[in-house]
Amino acid sequence: MVIIKYRRGDDLRRCHILFISASERQHSAQILAGLKDASVLTVSDLDGFAEAGGVMQFVMQENRVRFVVNLDAATQGKLRVSAKLLALAQVVNHGQAAR
């Protein structure tokens, strides 16, 4: 595994997994738009990230780290999410909670 810190304007489509940090909050919509249809697993802990089109969002619930998966975003990027992973996740579609 190689970890690279990207700068704004870099070609993010070359990476497999992209973590969008809080420092990029103002640019997250632009980043997600640039990765639309790309096979990049986008991950963040920003509020509303999955609903905004990110694939996976980490959230704190009852002092535990949980995660939200946006199935539409995963499918659009041709990413498959295993049934075992989905069983543990909160799932959203089209910005709406599915379960």
CB 55 within 8 A of CB 41: yes
Q: Say whether pLDDT at 34 is over 60.
A: yes
- Write down the pLDDT at residue 52: 94
- Write down the pLDDT at residue 9: 66
Residues contacting residue 19 through CB under 8 Å, at least 6 positions apart: 43, 44
Q: Where are the domains of the chain?
A: 15-97
Mean of the per-residue pLDDT values of the chain: 90
Q: Per 3-state DSSP, what percentage of the chain is helix, strand, and coil (rounded to 5)?
A: 30, 25, 45
Please state the pTM of the whole predicted model: 0.87
Average pLDDT over residues 64-85: 95
Q: Say whether pLDDT at 10 is over 90.
A: no
Average pLDDT over residues 33-60: 95
